[in-house]
Chain A
Amino acid sequence: MQAEGFRRYVEPEIEVLLRVARTLAGASDADDLVQETLVRAWRSVDRFDGRHPRAWLLTILRNTNMSMHRRHRPASVDDVASFANARPAFGIDPSSTEDRVMDSFLTEDLERAVQSLDAKFRTVLLLIDVDQLTYAEAANALGVPVGTVMSRLSRARDRVRRHLRPTFAAAGGHR
């Protein structure tokens, strides 16, 4: 019964955990972090009430990351570059023509804009806009209130937008 519940809670969240682990700990440590998170989740599953498994797992992931003595090290420069430059995965729908046009303007500048953010702003931006977490899930992953997530996210996006202003101006004819 415990095993059944554990699978039901954990298996749908494995990809999310891997994404968030890469954002918090970097690509090279993500697998170790998720594996240790799963081990700790298994040990504590009998105390889990079954509600909000993703929030439960993200809290364990954050605590595991801290206890593994890794400082919160949001996506490194290399990680950000690999987000932007990687080819679409097989089966991913190609973007629309308009998106591709904007991509050609945005890709490099966006990468630079994200890299230029302070770590705490960049991490929130990546968790929400790349890893697709909700505000509450990002708050769980970081151990901060939702209001802090919203404030950092807003400032991160404002800075990215400001950084991209010349790009948007240059692309004006395509919008």
Chain B
Amino acid sequence: MIRTIRMMVMCHWSARRIQRYLDSDPAALLDDAEIRRLEAHLAECDKCRAATIEYRQIDSALSRWAARRMPDPDSVTHMHEVVDRLVRGDLQ
């Protein structure tokens, strides 16, 4: 019983940190102790491990949208020309 409750508490704690763990964004890094605690939980909890895998797959699929949608090269060229015209004083 105690073990089950402890597991539920850890699942709740982990759910609030899994995305930050996967993102490693500089604005919201987990500290070393949090990372160790989370990884230990993921090693023993199938449900949280499955959630982590699913988030990772979603992130991976979305990041591939980016690779397939590079800006139009003509637009990039045009913007570089805009910069050229601005620094030459041709565009105000």
Point out residues on A near B: beta carbons under 8 Å.
Answer: 3, 6-7, 10-11, 14-15, 17-19, 22, 30-31, 34-35, 38-39, 42, 82-84, 86-89, 92, 95, 99, 102-103, 106-107, 110, 114, 125, 128-132, 134-136, 146, 150, 153-154, 157, 160-161, 164, 168, 175
Which interface class (under 10, 10 to 19, 20 to 34, 35 or more) fits B?
Answer: 35 or more
A129 touches B87 (CB 8 A): no
Interface flag for B54 (CB, 8 Å)? yes
Task: Determine the residue in chain A with the shortest Cβ distance to B92.
Answer: A39
User: Do A135 and B62 form a contact, CB below 8 Å, given A6-B83, A157-B19?
Assistant: no
Point out residues on B near A: beta carbons under 8 Å.
Answer: 19-20, 23, 25-28, 51, 53-55, 57-72, 75-76, 78-80, 82-83, 86-87, 91-92
Complex Cα distance, B61 from A168, in Å, reads: 13
Q: A130 CB to closest chain B CB, in angstroms?
A: 5
Q: Which residues of B contact A15 (CB under 8 A)?
A: 70-71, 76
24 CB contacts below 8 A, A to B, read: A14-B71, A14-B76, A14-B79, A14-B80, A14-B83, A15-B71, A15-B76, A18-B71, A19-B69, A31-B75, A83-B66, A86-B68, A86-B69, A89-B67, A89-B70, A92-B68, A102-B60, A106-B58, A110-B61, A153-B19, A154-B19, A157-B55, A157-B58, A175-B53
Task: Determine the residue in chain B with the shortest Cβ distance to A89.
Answer: B70
Q: Which residues of A contact B19 (CB under 8 A)?
A: 153-154, 157
Q: Which of A14, A38, A125 contacts B86 (CB 8 A)?
A: A38
B66 touches A34 (CB 8 A): no
Q: Which residues of B contact A31 (CB under 8 A)?
A: 75, 78-79
Q: Which residues of B contact A154 (CB under 8 A)?
A: 19
A160 touches B67 (CB 8 A): no
Complex Cα distance, B91 from A125, in Å, reads: 35
Q: A65 CB to closest chain B CB, in angstroms?
A: 16
Q: Which of B60, B63, B71, B91 contacts A39 (CB 8 A)?
A: B91
Q: B83 CB to closest chain A CB, in angstroms?
A: 6
Complex Cα distance, B61 from A84, in Å, reads: 9
